[in-house]
Structure 1
Amino acid sequence: MIEAIGLSKFYGPFAAARDVTFSVGEGELVAFLGPNGAGKSTTMKMLTGYIAPSEGIGRIAGHNMMEDRIEGSRQLGYLPENGPLYPEMTPLAMLSFFAEARGMSTAQKKDRIEAVVEICDLSTVMYKPISKLSKGFKQRVGMSQALLHEPDVLIMDEPTAGLDPNQVRGVRKTMRRLSETKTILLSTHILQEVEAMASRVVLINEGRLVYDGSVDGLREHGGSDLDDAFHALTHDEAV
């Protein structure tokens, strides 16, 4: 459902990502790990068609996202690190706008807005300006727009960044629920997220893939400790 095939992105001599290759099968929830600046967001943007790769191919549900982005996007819900929110709108107005932009009928729009409001627990804030919401609610609004068109594939970039423990708990609960019916690639550098939600890990460092396997397999790189394993695979001896 998600395929990265030799994805690279160069900015002059700097490689933000280099030859990143992995795939995510139907029904998997895969954690996409790496230190800050490792190339996680760049890789996700290439996978979603948001930016063009210098080399390689990104596919969503079999669609090449540079050649067939519209069809691929019908299958994809994408939540970037800073989601596409309009602060002057209410959640209801924003969801209505996105539904109309996607060509939903009046009946579809009503049904899907009701569904994502329930999934993301937004009923108490639907008429408040987004600018007045807490970061946790803003994350939920961003997630709701990613789910609005009922995609089969979700790509989420740091969905719990900056949230308090209760908000993180709520997002984890939502992600576990979604993983029952969706294929999910979840970017994070918080190792607790991996243990709480993921069945598999893809780890990159300095733009290159350095691990692709099970959570238990990752632990073996650090003597059964995920923190130690992450450090062993990503730290720079010169630092």
Structure 2
Amino acid sequence: MIKVEHLTKYYGDFLAVSDLSFEIEEGHVYGFLGPNGAGKTTTMNIMTGCLSATSGRVEVGGHDIFEEAEQAKKLIGYLPEQPPLYMNETPAEYLRFVGEAKGLRGDELRAQIDRVIGQVRIEAVRDRRISALSKGYKQRVGIAQALLGNPKVIILDEPTVGLDPIQIIEIRDLIRELGREHTVILSSHILSEVQAICEKILIIAHGKLVAFDTPDKLERSLLSANEITFTTDAKADVVRGLLAKVDHLTDVELEEREDGLLSARLKTDSKDIYAVSRQLFFAFAEEDQPLLELNLKKASLEDIFIELTESGGEDQTGDGTTPEEREDEAV
């Protein structure tokens, strides 16, 4: 459905997107993850034809987004992070304007307005001024405009930012429903949100794709138990001697507690955490030293996300804004 090939974007001397390639298939909900400033919004603006690329190409439904912009854009509905709403209009008036801009007229326009209003469930506020609506309803109006024209692909940039917990749940449910009829690309830096909604996850850092797979496969391929904790009443020097016999330990922290026990936290680079814990257990047993507690801690998706994207979201220009933010301010 969407093919991105060797996409690169510079803002002056700043490389925002670096030789990015991936392919979006039809009929899935995709999560596009990355820290702030990683290049997500730049990539989405290029994919939707709102921004030019320094090099590379994007195809939507077989149409080049730069060479066949009109045909490609008809296949895309886009909700930017800041919904492009006219606050003095009602949702019905605003959607009529957007529909006409998309080439809809007459009965078809009225039918599509009624359809998208029903889809996003804003019937009760269709004739209220947008400025008087809650943030959640404004987001729904923004999603409704993206649905006009019945595009095959819906791209949503941070659709739940600034919403309260109830509104977030409602928008997530709406996105799941949209995924039954459209290919949906959801951009976010909130891992739990993408994990809750999406069938496939792309993770971007430094403008590069660092992971792309289903949540389950990402967990199996990237996540392994890498931390062991235990409690013992052995003395610290005895414990250090025993741990010297255990292979693949990369970090050891010991804490002498007020109750006379000793707590330890170990990190390992071994892929077989059970082999390491087995070796630890027998090292203590051979010296007749007790292990009162022994636990294996599995890294979370959040841990992996941080590891993959570490320092990827920071702009180095010194003013605290990303090139994307500076371009938005300049428009």
Could you state the TM-score of these two structures normalised by the residue count of structure 1? Answer: 0.96
Give, in whole Å, the separation in 2 of the partners of 1:42 and 1:129.
31
Give yes or no for the alignment of 1:226 onto 2:301: yes
Q: CA deviation at 1:135?
A: 0.9
Q: How does 1:116-131 map onto structure 2 within 5 Å? A: 116-131=116-131
Q: Which runs of 4+ in 1 moved over 3 A?
A: none
Q: Secondary structure at the match of 1:140?
A: helix
Give yes or no for the alignment of 1:192 onto 2:192: yes
Structure 1 unaligned spans of 5+:
none
- Residue in 2 aligned with 1:63? 63
Identity of aligned pairs, percent? 41
- Residue in 1 aligned with 2:24? 24
Give, in whole Å, the separation in 2 of the partners of 1:11 and 1:101.
30
- Residue in 1 aligned with 2:214? 214
Return the index of the structure with the highest Cα Rg: 2
Task: Compare relative contact order (CA 8 Å, sep 6+) and give the higher one, 1 or 2.
Answer: 1
Give, in whole Å, the separation in 2 of the partners of 1:51 and 1:105.
28
Give, in whole Å, the separation in 1 of the partners of 2:10 and 2:212.
23
Give yes or no for the alignment of 1:143 onto 2:143: yes
| Count of matched residue positions in the alignment of Structure 1 and Structure 2 | 238
Are the aligned partners of 2:17 and 2:206 in contact in 1 as well (CA < 8 Å)?
Answer: yes
Give, in whole Å, the separation in 2 of the partners of 1:195 and 1:12.
35
For the aligned residues, what is the CA RMSD? 1.5
Are the aligned partners of 1:218 and 1:229 in contact in 2 as well (CA < 8 Å)?
Answer: no
Q: CA deviation at 1:193?
A: 1.5
Give yes or no for the alignment of 1:173 onto 2:173: yes
Q: Secondary structure at the match of 2:181?
A: coil
Give, in whole Å, the separation in 1 of the partners of 2:63 and 2:162.
33
Q: Secondary structure at the match of 1:128?
A: coil
- Residue in 2 aligned with 1:105? 105
Give yes or no for the alignment of 1:14 onto 2:14: yes
Are the aligned partners of 2:186 and 2:194 in contact in 1 as well (CA < 8 Å)?
Answer: no
Could you state the TM-score of these two structures normalised by the residue count of structure 2? Answer: 0.70
Q: CA deviation at 1:217?
A: 2.7
Give, in whole Å, the separation in 2 of the partners of 1:141 and 1:226.
32
Structure 2 unaligned spans of 5+:
225-298, 315-331
Q: Secondary structure at the match of 1:218?
A: helix
- Residue by residue over 1:4-35, the C-alpha shift from the partner in whole angstroms, topping out at 9 and shown as x without a partner, is 11111101221111111111101011100000
